Structure 1
Amino acid sequence: MQATNEAILARMDSPVALIPQLAAHIVAAGGKRLRPLLTLAAARLCGYQGNRQVKLAACVEFIHTATLLHDDVVDESVLRRGFASANAVFGNKASVLVGDFLFARAFQLMVEDGSLEVLRILCAASATIAEGEVLQLTTQNDLSTTEERYFDVIRGKTAALFAAACEVGAVIAEVPPAQQDALARFGMDLGMAFQLVDDALDYAAQQSELGKTVGDDFREGKLTYPVLLAIADASPEERGFWERTVEQGEQSESDLLTALELIARHDTIRRSIAKADEFVASACAALDQFPATEIRDILKDIARYTTARRF
């Protein structure tokens, strides 16, 4: 991981001073480094002995960071990991352009690796992330959004990169296709659980713990799982509230509290976490393709941590 962090810092460098300055701002804000960790752990699980996983883990983190920079502009976010977001400090134009730079750096790292299969997996994930974000945009403020469509959104915008991060670790180790597929499934299910918890925390966490403004999804009219469950169980009066606040975007200062009350009334946070637990169980089962080792146990623990986290 230390080598990966060093690679990230080295590849953020540019003679255009604003690029490393802005990139360093979002890197300095911390983050779990979960996606690159998955690449490193997957390679180790598969018995890989080289060092290609370091650059590929950095590549995965660059893809992720680029999407964060773009997402914060799209969502007009002012906080990221408890700090002022890059767009709040440097402006939207700089954030979008540095996000583009980080995407380009990621593709340079893929090319340097030299594997067409690695390139295929990470390119496909990058395209899928963009599709997921656009799909989310089309579901925003739309109360007819189904659970199936919501899962399509999070499969694209979040889980695809988790799956790719795991799969490339298996590819460079040249394990059989069944084990490559198992690690991709592990990453996909882990990513689904991770986003379900993220969406639950937007209504359940303390802002100081969450590192972003609580209730952002509600204010933006996003149809996330806790809201979809509350709408499905809503009385006519409650549905009228969701139509006004989410579909029509007419919100007053007290509406977030009302939304929180309705979500509590229908127990949708617990139900969202329960759905995430199903994905965690599936993720752990996928790893049973591999012998019982310490690294396999660590990966299962990472999956289980997903539904216990508070930020």
Structure 2
Amino acid sequence: MSSHVDGGSMGLDEIATKPHEQLAAHLAAKMEAVNLLIRDRMASRHAPRIPQVTAHLVEAGGKRLRPMLVLATADLCGYDGPFDVHLAATVEFIHTATLLHDDVVDESAQRRGRPTANLLWDNKSSVLVGDYLFARAFQLMVEPGSLRVLDILSNASATIAEGEVLQLSAAQDLATTEDIYLQVVRGKTAALFSAATEVGGVIAGAPETQIKALFEYGDALGIAFQIVDDLLDYQGDAKSTGKNVGDDFRERKLTLPVIKAVSAANAEERAFWKRTIEKGDQRDGDLEHALALMQSHGALEQTRAEALDWAARARAAIAVLPDHPVRGMLDRLAGYVVARIS
């Protein structure tokens, strides 16, 4: 399957200018406008804690991939108005709100190598500031005056929340299937990617075939992105991923590599997964045994093949779009997302 992905064998360090950096350079003026709008809208006269908590996350770096996808797809479809900036800020606010809530739910202490807001302040502040950002996102998404844009982004917000709740019940249940996993991933990650790419086309008044292609690109890119993340939890290098190998195992998360290993397990192996994931009874050497089981059933290799396949689907989706420098950058971005596992 890796033959679908150009440069599938590229290591990250071999890519001189990374596609998201090319996008950032191409969209620099617009991204500056997005950053100014974000700073303006996260201000609060009455509750100074709101900008404190928000700034901690927003200023933490990160690639700002989701807002860039809005700007990039609007540009690709020939948009020259002001509202792509509003929609890019909307998407970033939704994303930041979900991170604040996620860190509380996961009881996380670190994000991007820095202490999380719930650790620096408290859970109440994180939840309430997340709510404020959702409200701000809805104010922003109304401003372009497009009912269709509102429909896409409000549906995405509902799908994200639904995915998070589904994950609560599915995460430690060995009956969780690959279909349920995909539903969780679409909620957790892909819904906001596909909403970002779709609204860029809608705001630009692109033809329906192009809007559909942009949605499919964002959906497939988001799924590839999350599968790669889940695979790197078992195969990654802590320095480059910012996560320790096996964090998902320790947190008893049923991600795709484990689901594949469980589905191929014999009775003895199934008892091991039941003890470690469902019951949370983990002992020394369990992570190593889990990795050995995944290897023996080819679960890691199958997971890698699926990530590459989703990246290939993303690239195939945008082949119908106009020939434009941004299209090339989006194509390379899909290859870059899976380069870490190639």
TM-score range, shorter chain: over 0.9
Within-5 A mapping of 1:226-245? 226-245=257-276
Match of 1:261 in 2: 292
Name the aligned partner's letter for residue 85 of structure 1. Answer: T
2:48 is matched with which residue: 14, 17, 23? 17
Within-5 A mapping of 1:279-294? 279-294=310-325
1:91-115 C-alpha deviation (Å, 9 max, x unpaired): 1111111111111110110112211
Cα RMSD, aligned residues only: 1.5
What is the rounded CA distance, in whole Å, between the counterparts of 1:309 and 1:91 in structure 2? 34
What secondary structure sits across from 2:185 in the alignment? helix
Deviation at 1:46, TM superposition (A): 0.3
Deviation at 1:218, TM superposition (A): 1.5
Greater displacement, 11-20 / 264-273 = 264-273
Match of 1:4 in 2: 34
1:178 is matched with which residue: 209, 212, 216? 209
Match of 2:167 in 1: 136
1:239-289 C-alpha deviation (Å, 9 max, x unpaired): 221110001111124322332333333343332121011111111111112
Match of 2:17 in 1: none
1:193 is matched with which residue: 224, 235, 247? 224
Deviation at 1:28, TM superposition (A): 2.5
Shift in alpha-carbon separation, 1:283–1:130, aligned structure 2, 3 A: same
Retained in 2: the 8 A contact 1:207–1:214?
A: yes
1:217-245 C-alpha deviation (Å, 9 max, x unpaired): 21222211011111122233222211100
Match of 1:71 in 2: 102
2:73 is matched with which residue: 18, 27, 42? 42
1:24-73 C-alpha deviation (Å, 9 max, x unpaired): 11123211211111101100110111121111101101101100110111
Retained in 2: the 8 A contact 1:29–1:80?
A: no
Deviation at 1:213, TM superposition (A): 4.3
Retained in 2: the 8 A contact 1:59–1:110?
A: yes
1:135-188 C-alpha deviation (Å, 9 max, x unpaired): 111112111111111111111221111110001100111011111111011111
Match of 1:166 in 2: 197
Retained in 1: the 8 A contact 2:185–2:223?
A: yes
Name the aligned partner's letter for residue 28 of structure 1. Answer: E
Give aligned pairs, total.
310
What secondary structure sits across from 2:78 in the alignment? coil
What is the rounded CA distance, in whole Å, between the counterparts of 2:283 and 2:234 in structure 1? 17
Retained in 2: the 8 A contact 1:82–1:208?
A: no
What is the rounded CA distance, in whole Å, between the counterparts of 1:77 and 1:265 in structure 2? 31
1:5-41 C-alpha deviation (Å, 9 max, x unpaired): 2222222211211111111111232112111111011
Retained in 1: the 8 A contact 2:236–2:245?
A: yes
What is the rounded CA distance, in whole Å, between the counterparts of 1:101 and 1:47 in structure 2? 33
What is the rounded CA distance, in whole Å, between the counterparts of 2:76 and 2:256 in structure 1? 33
What secondary structure sits across from 2:143 in the alignment? helix
Name the aligned partner's letter for residue 164 of structure 1. Answer: A
Deviation at 1:77, TM superposition (A): 1.0
What secondary structure sits across from 1:113 in the alignment? coil
Q: Tell me, yes or no, if structure 1 residue 145 matches structure 2 residue 176.
A: yes
Percent identity over paired residues: 58
Name the aligned partner's letter for residue 203 of structure 1. Answer: Y
Greater displacement, 299-308 / 202-211 = 202-211
Within-5 A mapping of 1:41-60? 41-60=72-91
What is the rounded CA distance, in whole Å, between the counterparts of 2:299 and 2:250 in structure 1? 18
Deviation at 1:198, TM superposition (A): 1.1
What is the rounded CA distance, in whole Å, between the counterparts of 2:340 and 2:154 in structure 1? 30
Deviation at 1:297, TM superposition (A): 0.6
What is the rounded CA distance, in whole Å, between the counterparts of 1:190 and 1:282 in structure 2? 8
What is the rounded CA distance, in whole Å, between the counterparts of 1:113 and 1:299 in structure 2? 25
What is the rounded CA distance, in whole Å, between the counterparts of 1:216 and 1:250 in structure 2? 15
What is the rounded CA distance, in whole Å, between the counterparts of 2:127 and 2:284 in structure 1? 30
What is the rounded CA distance, in whole Å, between the counterparts of 1:269 and 1:133 in structure 2? 24
What is the rounded CA distance, in whole Å, between the counterparts of 2:217 and 2:240 in structure 1? 27
Shift in alpha-carbon separation, 1:47–1:189, aligned structure 2, 3 A: same
Match of 2:28 in 1: none
